[in-house]
Amino acid sequence: MTCRVLILRAPGTNCDRETAFAFEAAGAKTESVHLQRLLERPQLAADFQVLCISGGFSYGDDISAGRIFGNQIRHHLHDTLEEFKAAGKLILGICNGFQVLIKSGVLLPDQAAEPIATLTLNESGKFEDRWVYLRVASSKCVFLQDVDQMYLPVAHAEGKFVARDAATLDQLDSAGQLVLRYKSSGDRSATDIGTEVPYPDCPNGAQRAVAGVCDDSGRVLGLMPHPERHIDPTNHPRWTRERRERGDGLILFENAVRYFA
């Protein structure tokens, strides 16, 4: 059975075609669905194995990045996405999609009716557009199986991961949910486990250099870097000097398709 992927978009989404290409390169069949269509017919989600919210600037990032999109899910599609998760399916949020998932309560559960973590303005106070080194800090996430490290681009103004308190941060860390971390460019080894990563290697000042978070099942992942922008070796900024067989981001999409093989 071919893995079917629903790519959920909204006004301002601009990475849906690249994300569809990445999933299709991994062997999936994709369909881009406007949020309004899913709001009208939530049962559409049942026809898919993977739901992905791609990058961009949904609703112009008014109020804060991903907030409006996230609130629409929180208030109108919460049960639909909970059923989707309960059925053993996968959910992926990339950049703006990560912001949507974390602000909707889909990725991490609320506590006392408030999110336990958020993504806020970069410490630099500006939009960061650069390539970064990443390491996988936990084997918990389905999307990141058999991955040690990656080199991917980021492009965001609100990517700083912050937990509500130190105890919450420790709990997420010990549970293996802070699954993807920025790495220092001076240490390319997969064993670099330091949590203090300087700017610009950590482009936003995230706590413990967090670049991606998964839920407690490992089947829902949100990440700030863009794996869909490093699918082909020629996507790499130094591709003529560093010959590679494939882009680092491709395996993330292949893992999703392989999960349902």
Question: How far lies 12's CA from each of 30, 150, 224, in Å?
Answer: 20, 27, 17
- Do 132 and 182 form a contact (C-beta atoms < 8 A)? yes
Tens digit of each residue's pLDDT (9 = 90 or more) over 145-189: 999 999 999 999 999 999 999 999 999 999 999 999 999 987 655
Structure tokens at 67: 């907030």
**Residue 202 annotated to the active site:** no
Residue tagged active-site, from 15, 95, 202, 214: 95
**Residue 141 annotated to the active site:** no
What is the residue whose two structure tokens read 């105890």? 167
Is the pLDDT confidence value at 193 over 80?
no
Residue tagged active-site, from 228, 230, 236, 254: 228
**Residue 226 annotated to the active site:** yes
Question: How far lies 249's CA from each of 144, 156, 227, 252, in Å?
Answer: 10, 18, 4, 6
Beta bridge partners of 33: 8
Architecture of the domain spanning 4-259: 3-Layer(aba) Sandwich (3.40)
User: DSSP string covering 167-217, please?
Assistant: HHHHHHHHTT---EEEE-TT---TT---S---TTTSSS--GGGEEEEE-TT
Tens digit of each residue's pLDDT (9 = 90 or more) over 136-145: 999 999 999 9
Residue tagged active-site, from 128, 156, 158, 226: 226
Report residue 113's pLDDT band, with 50, 70 and 90 as the boundaries: confident
